[in-house]
């Protein structure tokens, strides 16, 4: 094809048909430019189609990940609600006649309130999308905004976990080491109760903790921290629910 056009140009020059040659040259340039534009358009179309496919595949995987994390979050909310109930139950013991209370009941509430809860989310797909152009390629402004904001919502949960953990390790647990019989609690409630054996201090009464304002303050602080943590978990759940709805649409 190139030799054919070259032959035409050479013949026109030899025949001194300069004006027609100019017109021909312009036409040839227009033809070449048109071909380039068409090729670019096809390339852009193919690229856009590939991006759309990648975005669709990404959102499908992201929806699965969001649903998984939503289930994890809901389970963690139930755990936190149980701990809050235990905190409320312990505080109510301070206002109850001692004759109506059992040491085992206090031990069981304390045992649950001692747990340090950590949420283990799967964020591999979200991290992939944030580290590449996959999130920015999503057409929905609302969806992109929620995805970009999700790490901040999760960070509030993890920060709250750290606050709860520090409170348990530095204040709540040290007090319980001195005032509760851990072997007795483990014998009653731990999974390895058969290995623990029976305590040599059966006369110890955990209800004596109810005579100390320090214990009441520690329980009250655990209740407050758990309540704040539940608030952050519920915010995370709400965030994930909104994501799920947008990803499905």
The predicted pLDDT at position 36 comes to: 74
Cα 4 to Cα 157: distance, rounded to the nearest angstrom? 72
Question: Structure pTM?
Answer: 0.79
Cα 56 to Cα 205: distance, rounded to the nearest angstrom? 62
Tokens of 79: 């755990």
* 127-141 pLDDT tens trace: 999 998 889 888 899
Residue 56: pLDDT above 80? yes
* 155-182 pLDDT tens trace: 999 999 999 999 999 999 999 999 999 8
Cα 224 to Cα 113: distance, rounded to the nearest angstrom? 12
CA geometry: angle at 229 spanning 226 and 235, to 5°?
145
Band (42; pLDDT cuts 50, 70, 90)? low
The predicted pLDDT at position 6 comes to: 57
Cα 63 to Cα 49: distance, rounded to the nearest angstrom? 21
The predicted pLDDT at position 249 comes to: 83
The predicted pLDDT at position 184 comes to: 87
41-66 average pLDDT score: 76
Among residues of the chain, what percentage have pLDDT more than 70? 81
The predicted pLDDT at position 122 comes to: 96
* 210-239 pLDDT tens trace: 999 999 999 999 999 999 999 999 999 999
Which of the pair, 21 or 164, is modelled with greater confidence? 164
Residues near 163 by Cβ (< 8 Å), separated by ≥ 6?
225, 228, 229
Mean pLDDT, the chain, rounded, equals 86
The predicted pLDDT at position 114 comes to: 92
Band (192; pLDDT cuts 50, 70, 90)? confident
Band (125; pLDDT cuts 50, 70, 90)? very high
The predicted pLDDT at position 15 comes to: 56
């Amino acid at each position: 094809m190139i030799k054919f056009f070259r032959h035409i140009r050479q013949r026109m020059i030899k025949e001194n048909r300069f004006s027609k040659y100019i017109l021909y040259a312009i036409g040839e340039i227009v033809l070449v430019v048109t071909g380039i534009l068409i090729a670019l358009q096809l390339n852009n179309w193919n690229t856009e189609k590939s991006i759309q496919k990648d975005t669709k595949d990404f959102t499908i995987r992201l929806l699965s990940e969001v649903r998984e994390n939503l289930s994890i979050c809901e389970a963690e909310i139930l755990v936190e609600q149980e701990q809050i109930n235990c905190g409320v139950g312990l505080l109510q013991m301070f206002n109850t006649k001692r004759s109506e209370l059992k040491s085992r009941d206090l031990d069981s509430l304390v045992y649950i309130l001692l747990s340090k809860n950590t949420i283990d989310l799967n964020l591999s797909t979200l991290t992939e999308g944030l580290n590449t152009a996959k999130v920015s390629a999503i057409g929905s402004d609302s969806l992109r905004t929620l995805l970009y904001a999700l790490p901040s919502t999760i960070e509030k949960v993890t920060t709250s976990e750290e606050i709860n953990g520090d409170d348990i390790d530095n204040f709540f647990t040290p007090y319980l080491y001195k005032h509760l019989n851990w072997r007795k609690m483990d014998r009653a409630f731990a999974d390895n109760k058969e290995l623990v054996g029976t305590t040599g201090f059966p006369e110890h009464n955990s209800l004596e903790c109810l005579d100390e304002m320090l214990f009441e303050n520690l329980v009250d602080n655990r209740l407050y921290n758990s309540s704040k943590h539940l608030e952050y978990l519920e915010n995370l759940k709400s965030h994930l629910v909104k994501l799920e709805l947008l990803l499905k649409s």
